Every structure is written in C-alpha cells, then in structure tokens.
Amino acid sequence: MKAFRGEPSIFTSARPEDRRAELEVKNLTLKFGGITALSKIDLNVRDGELVSIIGPNGAGKTSLLNSITGYYKPQEGQISFNGQDVIGLSTHHLTRIGIGRTYQNIELFPGMTVLSNMLLARHVHCGYHVGKASLFLKSVREEEVRHRKILEELIDFLEMQAIRKQLVGSLPYGMRKRVELGRALALQPRLLVLDEPFAGMTLEEKEDMVRFLVELNEAWNQTMILVEHDMSIVMSISKRVAVFDFGVKIAEGSPDFVQNHPQVIKAYLGDTSKIE
C-alpha cells in the first residue's frame, strides 16, 4: 500500500534499527490496595506488529498501558523494551527511548493550537540547550524550522491542514482524538500506544482513523498496541488480539480464534450475536 498524501520523512528517512520495537511483558501484576488491576499478564509485541487489547470496562487495559508508559509501577513481573528492563523508568525517559502514546481521556493542551501541541512532542528531538535557546541562535532557528517541516508532513498525512492553527479546545471531540494521534506520531515513537482512539467518534471519523492506523502499520511499519472497545474495528485491523477480563488475560490469538473462544464469548461478548 502506498501513501497517497506524501511520505512523512520521519518514516521514510529513518533507519529500520532506529524504529525497531520489541516489547515483552512477563508475569505482570499491578495492585491498588485491595484491587488487583493486572494479574500475571504476559504479552509480547514484535517489531512491526499491531496488537490489539480488548476487554470490558475495568478489565485493566488502561492499567497495562500506564504500566508500559511508566505512569504506574507494577509490583511484580517484568516489562522489557528492546531488551532493556523498563520498570521503574519515568515516563519522560520512556518517551525518550521510543514509547509514545495517546490517552483514553485525551491529554492535549486545550489552550494551545494544534501546531503548538505537536511542537511539544518534538521536545526530545530538539538538540539545543538553554544557552543557545536564550539567544535564539541561527542553529536554533534552523532546528525549529526543521521540526515545523516534519510536523507539516504529519499534518498532511492526517489531513489536518485546515485546523493547524486552531485552538485544540475549540475542536470537536473526534478531531481532538486525531490531533492526539498526530502529537503521538510527532514523538517519533518506536512503539505507538493507543488507548481507545475511536471512542466518541462519528462513523466517518472512525473510518478516517482506521485508514490512518492501517496505513501507519502497513505502509510505514509502525509497531502499535491498540486498546479498543469497538469490536468490529479491532477484528478487522488486527492480526493478533488479546482479551482481558478482571485483570487477567483470558485469551490471545487471531481475531477468528478470539471471537470463537468460549471464555471470551462468556466474559466479554455476552451473546455471540453481537459479533456476527
């Protein structure tokens, strides 16, 4: 599949080893007081894969993502990213080594424009320090322009040209989800972590989002973890799906396998008619 809207240079000009992402979650347990949010979770994500996680509300999907991105500190188990043990590393450190994410409840900066939000994500890719910044040296100016170009490519890719200078707070919900994807991509993550990117979207917005995610994964080889409620979307775009229920992974496999797994049907789907 070829991108019609041009080719963001962060994808085309990066060396494959700079985009390599191998995530390994082993035996992960996370407790909040008496509540066990995650219990003995195993999950692997290979380079270039799109892995989806589904499960009813409160199943622990967001908790897993928060553990992977350093917001929560699991009590037991390991998470390794490209061979490095990452439990205990802070979120900003994890962002720097290539884990970028979106949030279930959108954590954009509503008072800033779309562009400023995305510029923030370039923070770790800006090389200059305080001294150079304070004098706004030529090198700083050039770097700012370089980042602006990268962002414009992403804005083209996500078809957000018309809103680039609008305040995020003034955008409809579905559009904000798209902006948040744009901001996460601007982080240039090796592993893109998406928490319910389709929530609250209209059908058209969902279709656009599916197009973007499929293109990212298939054309640009973006490794992704996707947490999603909408079964039909998950089943159509993922090759591998993990199902969570009450903090336990009850099944994992191809969409077909998962759909017909008796425990999944019982726990999550209630009755099978929903997925037919």
Partner 1 sequence: MRKLQFHPCGSFKTSYQQDLNIFSTDFGRLWMGISIVLLFGVVPFISSAYILYVVNNIGIYAIAAVGLNLLIGFTGQISLGHGAFFGVGAYAAAILATKGGFPFFLAVPIAGVVSAAVGMVFGLPSARLKHLYLCIATLAGQFIIEYVLVQWEGLTGGAQGIFVPSATLFGINLGNDRAFFYVIFGCFVLMTWIAVNLIRTRIGRAFIAIRDNDRAAEGMGIPVFPYKLLSFAISSFYAGFAGALFAFYTMSITPEPFNLWLSIQYIAMIIIGGLGSIPGSVFGVIFIVTLNEVLSHATEYLMNVGVSTGVAITIAPLREFVYGLAIVLFIIFEPKGLAEVWRIVRSNFRLWPFSY
Helix (H) or strand (E) holding 242: strand 240-245
Neighbours of 86 (CB within 10 A): 20
* 170 close to 113: Cβ distance less than 8 angstroms: no
* Rg of the chain, C-alpha, whole Å: 19
Toward ligand ADP, which CB reaches closer, 118 or 225? 225
Query: Which positions from 94 to 113 touch Mg ion by CB under 5 A, shown as an x/- string?
Result: ----------x---------
* 64 close to 55: Cβ distance less than 8 angstroms: no
State the binding partner of 4 from ligand ADP, Mg ion, partner 1, none, CB within 5 to 8 A by kind.
none
Within 13 Å, how many C-alpha atoms sit on residue 190's CB side? 21
For position 60 contacting ligand ADP by CB under 6 A, the verdict is yes
Query: Which positions from 61 to 90 touch ligand ADP by CB under 6 A, shown as an x/- string?
Result: xxx---------------------------
Amino acid at 182: G
Under the rule (CB under 8 A), what is the footprint of partner 1?
69-71, 90-93, 95-96, 100-101, 103, 107-112, 116, 119-124, 126, 128, 130, 133-136, 140-141, 144-145, 148-149, 152, 165, 183, 187
State the binding partner of 69 from partner 1, ligand ADP, Mg ion, none, CB within 5 to 8 A by kind.
partner 1
66-72 LR contacts (CB < 8 Å, sep 24+): 67/28, 67/30, 67/38, 68/23, 68/25, 68/94, 68/99, 68/193, 68/225, 69/94, 69/95, 69/99, 69/101, 69/193, 70/94, 72/30
Query: Which positions from 33 to 52 touch ligand ADP by CB under 6 A, shown as an x/- string?
Result: --x-x---------------
* Token representation of residue 161: 């040209």
Toward partner 1, which CB reaches closer, 90 or 263? 90
Toward Mg ion, which CB reaches closer, 62 or 113? 62
State the binding partner of 176 from Mg ion, ligand ADP, partner 1, none, CB within 5 to 8 A by kind.
none
DSSP E strands in 1-118: the ranges are 23-32, 35-45, 50-54, 76-81, 84-85, 99-101
Stretch that binds ligand ADP, among 6-14, 31-39, 87-95, 201-209 (CB under 6 A): 31-39
Toward ligand ADP, which CB reaches closer, 104 or 166? 104
Helix (H) or strand (E) holding 243: strand 240-245
Stretch that binds Mg ion, among 60-68, 135-143, 236-244, 250-258 (CB under 5 A): 60-68
* Token representation of residue 136: 């706004």
CA distances from 55 to 150, 251, 252, 253 (A): 36, 10, 12, 14
Q: To the nearest whole angstrom, how small is the minimum distance from the Cβ of residue 58 to ligand ADP?
A: 4
Toward Mg ion, which CB reaches closer, 148 or 229? 229
Which parts of this chain interact with ligand ADP (CB under 6 A)? 32, 35, 37, 55, 57-63
